[in-house]
Amino acid sequence: MYAMFSLKTKNIHSLLQYQHSWRCLALGNSGSRLVLGIESSCDDTGAAVVDETGAVLGEALHTQKEVHLRTGGIIPTVAQQLHREHIEHVVKEALQRSGVDPSQLSAVATTVKPGLGLSLGVGLEFSQRFVRQNNKPFIPIHHMEAHALTVRMLQPVSFPFLVLLISGGHSLLAVARGVDDFLLLGHSLDEAPGDSLDKVARRLSLIKHPKCSTLSGGQAIELLAKDGDRMRFPFTTPMGQNYDCCFSFAGLRNQINMTIVKKEAEEGIERGTLLSCVSDIAAATQHTVACHLAKRTHRAILFCKANGLLPSLCPTLVVSGGVASNQYIRKSLSIITEATGVFLLCPPAKYCTDNGVMIAWNGVERLREGRGILLPHADIGYEPKAQLGVDLTAEVKAAAIRLPSVKMKI
């Protein structure tokens, strides 16, 4: 049952390629409808052309991560300017690589919610001009729905399934029941896990560490944690007394900050200088984040089972978003899925993070079902804040499910 999870990444890639070629042979590419996807909700400008079989015909991505790493976080006006500078050539490149002429497209799909308003605006404005010039239908996309369904482009995963989305901007637990049918079980009450890891990494000045200068905060913490002793700093896992599926990372970050201040005083160093115990703090941080995510996910699985929200045959948890590429966090989640008899799926890192492919695929899913397809001249705006699906968080809280103890031997 867990064989899929233990497959090496290389094998997964060849398996996915095989599945694609098989699907292409079975359906034939010639009759397949083509969707151009455009993503600009945060700090990545992405575009891709995907066909109905899930074959990626061409893609291009411009990432701003390095710029934001230097400035210590995303400055929305800088992100907007960079999207403006890159969107045209990113879309052109994706089209050129696919060998598809705009006239051959069946639709254009673009992220319109949620995200940074200034960034979303660039993608939407460009797309509206493009669909009007080329007289193509327009499909507005919810960024988190797209993350949740990307896995279906890679392998046959039927609805309903449970999804955990963890990134720099989100922490969500939801049941995906259909292309535009989601039940929200939990969300973050303050910051997202990736944001917390980035902030801890900045507070530790990991950018000055020789092994971490080009890594995102989360990547730096994962790398350093490998050599760290997590037992040196026993941080408290957040929300132990809240029996729901929501998340909170701000209190944990406060615990970590207080430890850093104490250690700086003990070592007699200034803020901004690397502590000798950075690896131990990284290991303890990563472990506590992993335990928090695993516990909330465990409760979500039990809630779904108690309410018949997942199929009894092969219930599945899909984990995606930038933080999902963390191997330690994946392992913590696999302990929970093994204990509860759930199948764990995680798209390859390339598709966990933001890209145009996932937006194009969501366009394909909507096109196939005829949902949310607009005429080229339809008037539509972007929405920086947008909930995912029907909010069941109050019902989850009311159920107050107590968790059986599970040993987190990671």
SS3 22: helix
Of the candidate spans 125-133, 217-225, 232-240, 365-373, the one that interacts with ligand KG4 by CB under 6 A turns out to be: 217-225
Residue 95 contacts residue 56 (beta carbons within 8 Å): no
Site for ligand KG4 in 311-350 (CB under 6 A): 321-323, 325-326
Residue 326 contact among Zn ion, ligand KG4, none, beta carbon within 5 to 8 Å by kind: ligand KG4
Residue 337 contact among Zn ion, ligand KG4, none, beta carbon within 5 to 8 Å by kind: none
Options 32, 45, 111, 219; binder of ligand KG4; rule CB under 6 A: 219
Exposed, middle or buried: residue 272 (CB in 10 Å: 0-12, 13-18, 19+)?
exposed
Which amino acid makes up residue 55? A
Residue 197 contact among ligand KG4, Zn ion, none, beta carbon within 5 to 8 Å by kind: ligand KG4
DSSP assignment letter at 206: G
At residue 265, φ and ψ (nearest 5 deg) are -65, -45
Cβ within 8 Å of residue 150, ≥6 positions away: 320, 347, 351, 357, 358, 361, 362
Q: Which two tokens stand for residue 367?
A: 């096109």
| 222 binds ligand KG4, rule: CB under 6 A | yes
| 216 binds ligand KG4, rule: CB under 6 A | yes
Q: Which two tokens stand for residue 178?
A: 């259909």
| 354 binds ligand KG4, rule: CB under 6 A | yes
Of the candidate spans 95-103, 297-305, 347-355, 384-392, the one that interacts with Zn ion by CB under 5 A turns out to be: 347-355
- x-or-dash pattern for ligand KG4, window 24-63, by CB under 6 A? ------------------x---------------------
Closest CA to 280 of 226, 325, 210, 347: 226
Nearest CB to Zn ion, comparing residues 58 and 322: 322
Whole-angstrom Cα Rg for the chain: 21
| 197 binds ligand KG4, rule: CB under 6 A | yes
Of the candidate spans 21-29, 86-94, 178-186, 218-226, the one that interacts with ligand KG4 by CB under 6 A turns out to be: 218-226
Site for Zn ion in 352-381 (CB under 5 A): 354
Closest CA to 216 of 233, 195, 234: 195
User: Number of residues in contact with ligand KG4, rule: CB under 6 A?
Assistant: 20
CB of 106 to ligand KG4, least distance (A): 27
SS3 237: coil
Residue 280 contacts residue 229 (beta carbons within 8 Å): yes
User: Rounded to whole angstroms, how far apart are CA atoms 381 and 388?
Assistant: 18
Nearest CB to ligand KG4, comparing residues 64 and 259: 64
> Residues in the site for ligand KG4, rule: CB under 6 A?
42, 167-169, 194-195, 197-198, 216-219, 222, 321-323, 325-326, 353-354
